[in-house]
Amino acid sequence: MKRILVTGAAGFIGANLVTRLLKKCREATIVGLDNLSAYYDVELKRYRLKLIEQQATTSANSWMFVEGSIADRGLVDKLFATHRFDVVVNLAAQAGVRHSITAPDEYIESNILGFYNILEACRHSYDGGAEGVKHLVYASSSSVYGANDKVPYSVDDKVDSPVSLYAATKRSNELMAYAYSKLYNIPTTGLRFFTVYGPAGRPDMAYFGFTDKLRRGQTIEIFNYGNCMRDFTYIDDIVEGLYRVMQRAPEASASRAAATIYNIGNSQPVNLLSFVEVLQEELVRAGVLPSDYDFELHHKLVAMQAGDVVATYADTTALERDFGFKPQTPLREGLRRFAEWYKAYYIID
């Protein structure tokens, strides 16, 4: 891993991965690409980039950031031609299940066209020898399991019932990657992430949005009357899984392409109402909320939302078998770190 491209480098997972690479790699060139989309607070993305820059000053590796979109074919091709990447990690995407209902064009542009551009760039760089991309790792999502009633979700399950356009684009990525692996012998690995959370995370995620509202004294809505279950996975566990997977590309067989998929989840789904109770306890402990905060007055149970699923639950057997790794950060510990970061970032006395 001497020449690495990370798309979505200013995003939550991307920024944490780049920081890990700067710490762990030796004499590597790491290029980050991100369009700094205004889907959520751009200042938070710039904050993450500053943390990367700080790490880069003490790293034995080279770091370069490029502002731009994977939907820009010319830019993508130029980056590949200039740097001749060994490993590509595509984390750039338009995220958010609910946003895909109201802004579908953004998902087609980034998640379909953008991913196609990455595949094409890998295709034209890969010649089966030392000069081409040796491994493409890309972000999928637990959303691809859609209306699947069987839990825990296994990578061997059928995933043909998406309940949102976002989920459909992520499943499309998996199929596109497999086709390119089969046709052009490009090793690809897709990672289905399960509800990632942690410090400097995405403000559109429930734990972050709930915190913002509770801090303002507003009422939060807990969907499906609190009966949804989510497999919350701490950011450090996600990055550890990514880092391990990057270093081992799948191999083709007589019957299958050099393409594989893994779940990365904590495998301990939590009831949403219980999750929110732990969150508010940690927010009180960190001083984000006052010690006498009355949680009962600031939440209400409401019906299911369009695009949502009742439960997510990762079967990580394949990840454990192939990489000896399983996410295991306890929810309370992860939320404690988030609460402490939130207080410091927003300078709460």
pLDDT one digit per residue (tens) for the chain, 349 residues: 899 999 999 999 999 999 999 999 999 999 999 999 999 999 999 999 999 999 999 999 999 999 999 999 999 999 999 999 999 999 999 999 889 999 999 999 999 999 999 999 999 986 545 568 999 999 999 999 997 888 899 999 999 999 999 999 999 999 999 999 999 999 999 999 999 999 999 999 999 999 999 999 999 999 887 788 999 999 999 999 999 999 999 999 888 999 999 999 999 999 999 999 999 999 999 999 999 999 888 988 888 777 677 888 999 999 999 999 999 999 999 999 999 999 999 998 7
pLDDT at 128: 46
pLDDT at 19: 98
Q: For residues 110 and 115, what is the distance between their CA atoms, to the nearest angstrom?
A: 7
pLDDT at 308: 72
DSSP 47-114: HHHHHHHHHHTT-SSEEEEEE--TT-HHHHHHHHHHH--SEEEE------TTHHHH-HHHHIIIIIII
Task: For residue 59, count other CB atoms closer than 10 A to its CB.
Answer: 19
Q: How many CA atoms lie within 13 A of 270 on its CB side?
A: 19
| Catalytic, out of 138, 145, 153, 166 | 166
Q: What is the residue whose two structure tokens read 């802004």? A: 103
pLDDT at 47: 98
Helix (H) or strand (E) holding 318: helix 317-323
pLDDT at 9: 98
Q: Where are the beta strands (DSSP E) in 142-257?
A: 188-193, 196-197, 220-222, 229-230, 233-234
- For residue 339, give both structure tokens: 């609460």
For helices 206-215 and 331-345, the axis angle rounded to 10 degrees is 50
DSSP 273-297: HHHHHHHHHHHHHHTSS-TT--GGG
pLDDT at 143: 95
Instruction: Yes or no: say if 240 and 325 are a contact pair by the CB < 8 Å rule.
Output: yes
- β-bridge pairing 270-271 and 62-67: unpaired
Domains of the chain: 3-197+232-266+313-328 (3.40.50.720)
Q: Which of 25, 13, 136, 120 is nearest to 71 (CA)?
A: 120
Q: Give me the phi and psi of 141, to 5 degrees please.
A: -160, 150
Whether 346 is catalytic:
no
Q: How many CA atoms lie within 13 A of 307 on its CB side?
A: 12
pLDDT at 116: 98
